[in-house]
Amino acid sequence: MPIAMSHTRPLGAVRWILCAALALTLLAPSTPTLADGTLRLAVLKFGTLSWEADVIRHNGFDRAEGFSLEPSAFAGPQATLVALMGGNADIAVTDWIWVSRQRDAGRPYSFVPYSTAIGALMVPGGSDIGSLADLAGHRIGVAGGPLDKNWLLLRALARQRSGLDLANQVEPVYGAPPLLNAQIQQDRLDAVITHWPYAARLSAIGYRPLMDAREAMSELGIQAEVPMIGYVFNEDWAKSHRETTDGFFRAVARAKSRLAESDAEWERLRPLMRAKDEATFIALREGYRAGIPKGWGAEERVAAERLFEILRATGGSALVGHSERLAPGTFWDGTPD
């Protein structure tokens, strides 16, 4: 499946976001804005969240909601979570499996969807690799490590199709996404399983997706579009700073709407995107737009429970801890207990 290269704007997604924002508004208590009015957001310096934060600040969406967004850039995903857990950030972005594991350990973090985009298995345009079975005997780059969700999904699918574990069929090479992109361009890897922005960058220079995570989930029986990545925060903090929390998500809704509709906004963001050419710029823009969540209701949450089971069966306790199911409260409902 192509990496979201369509130029069709997700109008349904925008409608969902605006409806979610309205729901948050109606649920918000009538308490005054905090005196300091600052919300600290942990971002990756060149990550997609930094684009969204820039849109919020540039357009004054935070000020319109009575708070000031203060993004802090970190070198890697783990550093953003350390900042969150250490009280140096109020909100970060990661997956709901991390949230569930934290809740099992007694730490009340919660999750609100950020994106449905995950990643893809990319091969050179002229590669003779045409299926998962063809990966056998090849060197495959895996972004992040052995517990990467894209890698686990493809392993689960290969096991369903043929009863084989890809981990025993290929030579996995674990590393950071930028390094793996460089390695495959130097012909040191035969394929890479990587996060969507890096897959988009490869697609812009002629690499093709053999399979993306959404396709894998669909074949594994997950038909709903599940947002794997989301904004995470301590729910006790969110409840005690309710007006600022709700204001943040209304600002997020406006930013996503602007990015879904406005090509001019993307032109303004171009320097932050580090897109070396027009094809890369378009791939990143359309990849972000395609990942805007279109819904987050009962169907998606049930699908997330099933996805947890699949990932647990492949990743084991190293991924999910000792829990057999998603911890209650993993997904923020925005209402008091």
**Which two tokens mark 153?**
């999904």
CA dist., res. 60 & res. 68, Å (int): 9
**Angle between the 11-27 and 242-261 helix axes, to the nearest 10 degrees?**
160
Q: Per-residue pLDDT for 11 more than 60?
A: no
d(CA 107, CA 100): 9
Which pLDDT does position 203 carry in this prediction?
Answer: 98
For 65-90, the pLDDT digits (tens) are 999 999 999 999 999 999 999 999 99
Q: Cα separation of 186 and 4, whole Å? A: 25
Give me the pLDDT at residue 258, please.
98
pLDDT tens for each residue of 82-131: 999 999 999 999 999 999 999 999 999 999 999 999 999 999 999 999 99
Check if the beta carbon of residue 199 is closer than 8 Å to that of residue 212: yes
Name all domains of the chain by residue range, CATH numbers in brackets.
Answer: 11-116+225-320 (3.40.190.10), 119-219 (3.40.190.10)
Mean pLDDT of the region 317-325: 93
Q: Which pLDDT value is given to residue 253?
A: 96
Q: What is the mean pLDDT of residues 158-162?
A: 94
Kindly state the average pLDDT of the residues 259-277. Answer: 97
Alpha carbon of 36 to those of 92, 165, 187: distances in Å?
20, 53, 52
Reported as a single tens digit per residue, the pLDDT across 166-214 is 999 999 999 999 999 999 999 999 999 999 999 999 999 999 999 999 9
**DSSP H or E stretch at residue 40:** strand 38-44
The confidence band for 20, taking pLDDT boundaries of 50, 70 and 90, is very low
The answer to whether 126 and 141 have CB atoms below 8 angstroms apart is: no
Please indicate, yes or no, whether the overall pTM of this predicted structure exceeds 0.85.
Answer: yes
Residue 210 sits at φ, ψ, to 5 deg, of: -80, -35
Lookup: tokens for 270 = 């171009």
Evaluate whether 292 touches 72 at the Cβ level (below 8 Å): no
Q: What is the pLDDT of residue 301?
A: 95
Taking residues 24-35, report their average pLDDT. 35
- Asked whether the predicted pLDDT for residue 8 surpasses 80, the reply is no
pLDDT of residue 334: 74
Which pLDDT band, with edges at 50, 70 and 90, does 3 fall under? very low
Q: How does residue 286 score in pLDDT terms, banded at 50, 70 and 90?
A: very high
CA–CA separation, 113 vs 257, rounded Å? Answer: 15
- Does residue 250 carry a pLDDT above 80? yes
Q: What is the pLDDT of residue 2?
A: 38
The predicted pLDDT at position 123 comes to: 98
